[in-house]
Structure 1
Amino acid sequence: MTVRTDEEHDVRRGEAQSGGWQVVAGQECRDLWIGGRGPLLLLTFSVLLSAMTYLAATNRAMNFLEQREAVNLTLQVALSVGVLLTLLVSADAISGERERGTLEALLLTPVGRRAIAVGKLAAAMTLWLACLVVALPYLWVLGRGVAVAGSAALLALCVGTLVAAGLGSLGLLISACTNSNKTSLAISLLVLLIFFAPTQIPALPKTGIGDLLTRVNPIGSALHYITQVLVGHRSWTDNLSYLAAPGVLTAATLAVLIVAGPTIIKLTAGASSS
């Protein structure tokens, strides 16, 4: 009979915790897609995109839209709503479990708290990926005549996933730092509104200060980059600096989530863990 040393136990425990995020992600995905809100949210998303695509393709009042602009508009709506849904799911991830009284059972498992954070973020990201899959046929229908559907799909995958990861991580941080689920959702929606409000001013990037505000806004800069590629006929490398803000947001929030995960994921926000 082999006697394991404390060092071997620590190694095995570390291996179990490093793969624990997959277990957490699997359970969260089952909760989201089998018995949760995932199918309903995705159905709502598809109905909204169907209405947008129909209007962009057939409504006389929108016939002034050039085909590339119609694809760009649909992609921006898909990205905006998909990111919103991802943020809502991640904002409920920790504070929701606190209110439902299920967080204690999760913390008692041998899975590390960093793994819990990563697993919950991965599950929230599946909602964005599902939204992306739903959006692809609509982008193909609108863009097939000008051979822009492929570019739109790649932009949605690359830029959309970058923004969704950043906002999802931010929502998870807010959720971990608040005791009330309503507070977490309210703060997350407020942050999203602050990011989205400047994007409704079309002339904003055309001024010096406006361009600066666009560049520091992770959502505004991402949408502007997409517009420049799809409508402005720019190459993908011409305006890569506009992706700096979403890239910094994603890197910063992920770093904080991983480093501070053991500290902020606990039974009561702001209290010392036992």
Structure 2
Amino acid sequence: MHTTDMISSADFDFVIDGQPATLEDIFPGMKPHDRVGIVVRESGGGIGASALIMAAMAKVYDFYRPKLGNTPGKLRIYPEFYVFHVGQRHMDHYWMDIWPPHKEVEVIDDPEQILEAINDRAITRLLVPDTPPVTAVTLYEAIREDQINPSAATFLQETVSSAEQRILSAVAYSSTGRTRRADVLIRSCLAAEQVVIASINSSESLTTEQREQLCAKRDALMEGGRAAETYRRIPFDEAIRMLTTSTLASGVTRRYIALM
């Protein structure tokens, strides 16, 4: 629990549409058992959402704070936050309290398989990279039309329905920390930024050049000693069409198609 003694939810400032706001305005009704998932598709990309991740992490710890500790009788717990690494491992996030390691989930670059992984972890709040949404169809729609559209992301209807019934909030973020058409601004704190830099520097999957580039990105976000990141709240149907830019069905998904 690296951050419990370093960061609280009061260390973050929120602005929505130019007006002061709170985390509740981004994740309405957030509870300690909410499960946050961030989809990452590029090296170090998830740090572009670090302010929101760390603010939500601090909020969860605030629920438990009087009980937390490493001594007998105290509660040792990490929030149920998950990183979905698409295609390959893109960075290590344990300094940001994404722990134990099974919460860093590697998944093949296939829309259906990514959404299945999100469902398997019962994610309730979803962060996706800010890219133009692809066209999406379900297998049932494709079968009705007697063809699988190679330019459309194909999902099982059951997979979509499961996610839609459970995911309460969806947000688009950018790896740069600056999201297009943003309606949300979050100002982080120095302690949170130190944890982000520690994550970059400790990630074995990153090269020295990548670490330098990522640290430069963070420097560009600093305003008055605090990182300022922007986001865009989005509806569920847009979020699942932004899970990946790939519309190719993997061998696993093609087996589903063969069974239909």
Whichever structure has more strand as a proportion of its residues is 2
TM-score, structure 2 length as denominator?
0.25
Q: TM-score, structure 1 length as denominator? A: 0.24
More helix by share: 1
